[in-house]
Amino acid sequence: MVPFGTYKGYGLCLVLDAIGMALGATISGDTGFGHTFMAIDSNGLVPLQDFGARIDELVRYVKSCPPQTGFSEIIVPGELEFREEEKRSREGVFVDDQFWEDMVKTGGEVGVDVAELVKS
C-alpha cells in the first residue's frame, strides 16, 4: 500500500485495500500487492446527465483554485493525455528515421507494403 495525501490519503488507501480483500484480493508474498478492479454504474446512483454535470462542476471548482507556486495551472487526471491526443491527431506522431526504416524493413519481410498503407 502506498499512502498519499497524509492521514486522509492513508485512510482512503486502507479502505480500498479492505474492500479488495473482502472481494478476494489478498496482500500476499514478498510483493505485498493485491489487485482489485471495480466498475461502478453511476446510473444506479444518479442519472448519467446529472453525473456528467456534477463532474463538470467538480472540474471547474478544482481548476478555479490558484495553482501552487511554480505551476501555471491545475490539471485533472487525463487532461495531459487528452491534449497530447489532440496534438497527435493534428500533427501526427513523430517517428525517428531509424525506427521508420526498421518498420519498413520488417513490414516488407512479412509482406506489408508500408508505402501503400501510408497513402491511405
The sign of the torsion formed by the CA atoms of 112, 116, 118, 120 equals negative
The DSSP secondary structure of 13-78, one letter per residue, reads HHHHHHHHHHTT---BTTTTB--------GGGTS-HHHHHHHHHHHHHHHHHSPPPTT-S----TT
Residue ranges per domain, the chain?
1-38, 45-93
Q: For residue range 17-34, what is the model confidence (pLDDT) as tens digits? A: 788 778 776 665 556 666
pTM score:
0.56
Q: For residue range 52-76, what is the model confidence (pLDDT) as tens digits? A: 999 999 999 999 999 999 999 999 9
pLDDT category at 1 given cuts 50, 70, 90 is: very low
Read off the amino acid at residue 82.
F
